[in-house]
Amino acid sequence: MLYSTTTPAQKRQRLREILVPGAGRQFPGTFTPLSAPLIEEKGFDGLYVSGAVLANELGLPDIGLTTLSEVAQRAGQIARLSNLPTLVDADTGFGEPMNVARTVQELEGAGLAGCHIEDQFNPKRCGHLDGKSVVDAETATKRIRAAAQARRDENFLLMARTDMRGSYSLDETIDRARMLVAAGADAIFPEALKDLEEFRTVCRALDVPVLANMTEFGKSELFTRRQLAEAGVALIIYPVTSLRSAMGAVERTLDALAADGTQASQVDQMMTRARLYEVVDYAGYSAFDDEVFTFDVP
């Protein structure tokens, strides 16, 4: 009932324990708080809050338009609904190193288990698009150093994302990743690697956990959990998967409603009222106060 029974500190501890090279832990993108309990029930390892989804859900492109307050609030609403650890996309950290420091403290305060901060220029763009540019090594490492210094819970996971591979060689990408680790990053998100062999090389070259981004319609092929785990990947995100699935379903239903004058043909694809009530735990509330829910669900 209500929110999770696990504290943010316990979730951070858990994230530290499970983030082992080669573990291939799966963190589906949690596009709405309602999907958090569903992901937990399906047995996944953690939740991911995508910057692209947060922006797109507001009808905005993913180019750094969302604010720290919006991201911290939404990510916090998601994190508190689950006992699983939640990793959030903090884009470029929302400003200069001083802002990055505040970002980390706000996200800690919102109950997140960790965040990633990237080395793109602001305005940033999706890591799987062409034409990205990255800041120089000094600027990138300053962001991470500021984040590491600001952190109050040493278990809050500070992940550095590098977008170097978009325009540079794999070796240069690895060099950048090493600098970010030296600056205090606990884990590395190498964005838009070209193939499985590149994941293997990066995982071998670094002695911190590595994340793989399995976003659809991107530059990386959609590898299986097993393939990525064998390559040495610790954590896999599916950032926009549930939003894309949901919006695909919404569009199909709207088309049917417009064409047929009724949504009847789509009802068997919908989550039923009973299942929805299960996800929001009506039973738990009714056990807490049996005066409140006295009706039968059709």
Residue with the two structure tokens 């960790």:
114
285 is catalytic: no
Cβ–Cβ under 8 Å, residues 281 and 3:
no
Neighbours of 251 (CB within 10 A): 10
Contact window for Mg ion (CB under 5 A) among 7-15, 45-53, 131-139, 149-157: 45-53
Which CB atom, from 126 or from 188, has the smaller least distance to ligand MIC?
126
Of the residues 40, 89, 106, 198, which is catalytic? 89
Instruction: Kindly state the smallest distance separating residue 133's Cβ from ligand MIC, in Å.
Output: 14
Please tell me the distance from the alpha carbon of residue 223 to that of residue 212, in angstroms, as a whole number.
9
Of the residues 191, 198, 203, 244, which is catalytic? 191
138 is catalytic: no
Please tell me the distance from the alpha carbon of residue 180 to that of residue 174, in angstroms, as a whole number.
10
Coil, helix or strand for 80? coil
Task: By CB under 5 A, tell whether 119 contacts Mg ion.
Answer: no
* Among the listed residues 8, 29, 37, 51, the single contact to Mg ion using CB under 5 A: 51
48 is catalytic: yes
Interaction partner, residue 35 (Mg ion, ligand MIC, none; CB < 5-8 Å by kind) = none
Per-residue x/- track, 65-94, Mg ion (CB under 5 A) = ------------------------x-----
Cβ–Cβ under 8 Å, residues 27 and 87:
yes
62 is catalytic: yes
How would DSSP label each residue in 137-194? HHHHHHHHHHHHHH-SSTTSEEEEEE-GGGTS-HHHHHHHHHHHHHTT-SEEEETT--
* Residue 43 phi, psi dihedral angles, 5° rounding: 90, 20
Instruction: Kindly state the smallest distance separating residue 273's Cβ from ligand MIC, in Å.
Output: 31
116 is catalytic: yes
Please tell me the distance from the alpha carbon of residue 19 to that of residue 189, in angstroms, as a whole number.
13
Of the residues 91, 106, 119, 198, which is catalytic? 91
224 sits in the region (left: phi over 0; alpha: psi -120 to 50; else beta) called: beta
Instruction: Kindly state the smallest distance separating residue 91's Cβ from Mg ion, in Å.
Output: 6
Instruction: Kindly state the smallest distance separating residue 266's Cβ from ligand MIC, in Å.
Output: 27
Instruction: State the residues that interact with ligand MIC by CB under 6 A.
Output: 50-52, 62, 89, 126-128, 213, 215, 218, 239-240
161 is catalytic: yes
What residues line the site for Mg ion (CB under 5 A)?
51-52, 89
Which residues are part of the catalytic machinery?
A: 48, 62, 89, 91, 116, 118, 126, 161, 191, 213
